[in-house]
Chains A and B, each alone.
Chain A
Amino acid sequence: MSKKKLDILKIFILLNSFLIIFVSCISNNIDNNNREYGLYSQIMCPVCDGQTIAESQASISNDMKKMVNTQILEGKTDKEILNYFKERYGQEIISNPSYSGFNITVWIAPILIILGSLLLLIYYLRKNMNKAEL
């Protein structure tokens, strides 16, 4: 094996060992992320500007957090809990538009537009590439 190849191999091995250390560091963490947080961060604080109840310290947010906790203990599903808040405060209390009705466009439009324009770009490049070969 030539010296150059050997050097590249060394770098390759070095990178790999870094990688393994890196992976072992982070995969050590056991996941005990709780359900509350997932829910808190999906519910907006009704009296704050742009905060979810997870961040907000307003008293109403603290009350709402308690309500979430109680409902979890009652054995309700995430969906039921979110619906509970939606019925009382309207759609805007949920940090994400729902996947139904008009709101679905928020998800679909960007994906369609990105894919569509990517196709257009490729088409345009192809057309001009043929010109360049003339």
Chain B
Amino acid sequence: MTISNLGFTLLILTMNLCLYSLIGSLIGVRISSKTLLKSAKNANYCTFITLAFSVSCLVYAFVAGDFSIKYVFNHSSLSMDPIYTWVALYAGNEGSLLYIALIISISSFITLFFMPSELNEAEPYIISILSGFLLFFVTVMIFLANPFDTFQNIPKDGRGINPLLAHPGMFSHPPLLMAGLATIIIPFSLVVGMVFTGKFRNDGLDYIRTTSLIIWSILGIGLLLGSWWAYTILGWGGYWVWDPIENVGLMPWLIMTAFIHSIIVQRRRGMFRVWNVILIFLAFVLAQFGMFINRGGPVVSVHSFAASTLGYIFLGFMLFSAIFCLLVFILYSHKIKSDNNVQSFLSRESAFLINNFFLVAITFVTLWGLIFPLISELFAGETVTVGAPYYNSVNGPVILALLFVMGIGPNLSWRNTSKENLISNLVAPLALLSISFILLISFSSKPIISSLSISVIVLVISTIIIEWSKGSYRITKAGTPWFISFIKLIANNRKKYGGYIVHISILLVAMGVIGINFYQIKVDKVLSVGEEVKVGRYIVELIEIDENEYNDRREKIATFLVKNNKNEEIKIMNGNNTFYPSFNMASIRAAIHSNPIEDLYIIPSDFLSNTDMKLIISINPLVWWMWLGGPIFIIGTLISLWPYRTKKG
């Protein structure tokens, strides 16, 4: 039996397991047969095993260079860097579907394994939704996009991986992003299961929160890593250009962000139940929308790796999901009415609501820009492009408003905030906001919006620091030193303070965005070897141009010597321009010198001769902080998720 046969057989086995698990759990709940339910659950567990083996088959085929498999032929070659054969699995449509299927089965396994007993009643529905979702992907692979499809005549060598994917980011960004989008099914299935049993109450809500937070952070880190990847390469236009595929990854994340906030309100006050159901439905449908756009949607994007002719299948599945959600909502929403109403505008509840509102607004603006070319074509018969300037100018102010709420919200109390509290909490942060705004306006010649954004960041940071110091101060009264009290404060209320740490990471990202959007310097220069150019605080000298030939690519490397104002050497760095003849594609990697104040960013855009080249040099302030945001985001999420020792009995 060849490896391709084995892999495909395992897929067919998976499909049967999914079918059995789907039908078994539905019948099991109808005839209330515990054995059948148990067996359906076990069938779902087994998909993890069959898919793990199936994926191993494909990875093995890649690493071993088995070009009898079409997918391996199309996405690898003997001459490519062998390290990428390990991840070429998800470099194209078929293989990434297989990867997604594996992720769904792993996450289903973990979810079902740790399921708390409060959710027992809902479990059969959850299993059937998870199995049904997996069934869709496996069926698509078996009938329409078989990753194990083979050739009659075995070619000697493959076409190689798409040059744009040969980057260290390939190991982290695509798998995390795909995993994050695919696993939105987990909180979705939990919520639907609970809604079906008419018990979308506090039982099990913690479990939904935990799974959502994990998925949300995976998706968030995936997005940030994508930003970093795009930043290091010319051709993506920088860390974020509102490319359609970037947008379809961002939108579910935004809605999930709203969800993990508003679920706190449901937990705390029994409110927003219906709203939370809407949010998770929206996140799920948007994730399916992303699948559709990514795999054969009607809009052009720089991400064309997974493009296929299967667009209509994913469109169909998205419509099916949307109708399913709508039906569930119509039939069951009366069972999930909230216990309370918002009592005052000056309450934590209303701050959460406004936060949700802005997040949904950003999502809407993004979606509107994404589909507008289609609308314009349909109604005005004109093809238009909606590029970054639209998103920046419409989303920018909404994001700023969202950050502002992030600064005000934590100062408000649940239910209602008394005037005295309001004043004592807000005076210092608002004073800081005004001071920084005045300072910035007078010192900087930049647009007012940039000064305003920085001032809002100051507001949010000061709110958090004041809250931290107040809390730690209470603990120091018992004689504990400041530092220990601070740790204690965070350890005692991990959910809340972990959340604040995540807020700080978002602010760091915002700082990078502000730095690059408003304070960037960019120059275009032709340099010969030995010449130097002064940019900002730096002097850049081109010291060498090298050329390397490989089997699959020609690499031109420019070496720069970077000096500071006083002519002291800081660093020697490389930028390269790699041309892949078989793809007729060049990949240009920037030379980056990064420090907390600014990045010196050099793109070797064109090699004119052996001694001359064209450079684009920019100074990108504060970008370093954006990447620091990543680890802090993870730390904050982990603190927030860290379980308390359970006190049972």
Contact = CB atoms under 8 A, between A and B. Distances in A.
Contact of B466 (A8, A31, A51, A54): A8
Contact of A101 (B342, B380, B394, B523): B380
* Interface secondary structure of A, over-half rule: helix
A50 B302 contact: yes
B235 A34 contact: no
Contact of A94 (B302, B373, B385, B446): B385
A107 to B, nearest CB: 7
B524 A34 contact: yes
A52 B105 CA distance: 40
Contact of B386 (A4, A19, A97, A113): A97
B436 A19 contact: yes
B300 interface: yes
B341 to A, nearest CB: 4
B350 A125 contact: yes
Given A12-B428, A44-B385, A107 B445 contact: no
A81 B13 CA distance: 61
Interface string A81-105: 0000000001111111100011101
Contacts of A16: 432, 435
A37 B237 CA distance: 12
B432 A103 contact: no
Given A4-B473, A23-B443, A107-B394, A51 B235 contact: yes
Interface string A37-59: 10001101000111110111100
A106 interface: yes
A67 interface: no
B369 A49 contact: no
Contacts of B388: 41, 95
A50 B243 CA distance: 7
A36 B524 contact: yes
B589 to A, nearest CB: 12
B561 to A, nearest CB: 22
Contacts of A113: 364
B244 A50 contact: yes
B379 A11 contact: no
Contacts of A1: none
A27 B235 contact: no
B382 A26 contact: no
B237 A31 contact: no
A8 B469 contact: yes
Interface in B446-469: 446, 454, 458, 461-462, 465-466, 469
B69 to A, nearest CB: 27
A24 interface: yes
Nearest to B536: A29
Contacts of A56: 235
Interface in A89-134: 90-97, 101-103, 105-107, 109-111, 113-114, 117-118, 121, 125, 128-129, 131-133
Interface in B461-501: 461-462, 465-466, 469-470, 473
Contacts of B619: 29
Interface string B365-407: 1001100110110011011111111100010001000000000
A91 B394 contact: no
Interface of A: 4, 7-8, 11-12, 15-16, 19-20, 22-27, 29-34, 36-37, 41-42, 44, 48-52, 54-57, 62, 90-97, 101-103, 105-107, 109-111, 113-114, 117-118, 121, 125, 128-129, 131-133
30 contacts: A7-B469, A8-B466, A11-B466, A15-B458, A15-B462, A31-B521, A36-B524, A41-B237, A49-B300, A50-B243, A50-B300, A50-B301, A55-B234, A56-B235, A57-B234, A57-B586, A57-B605, A90-B383, A91-B382, A91-B383, A95-B388, A96-B390, A102-B382, A106-B368, A106-B386, A106-B390, A109-B368, A111-B394, A125-B342, A133-B343
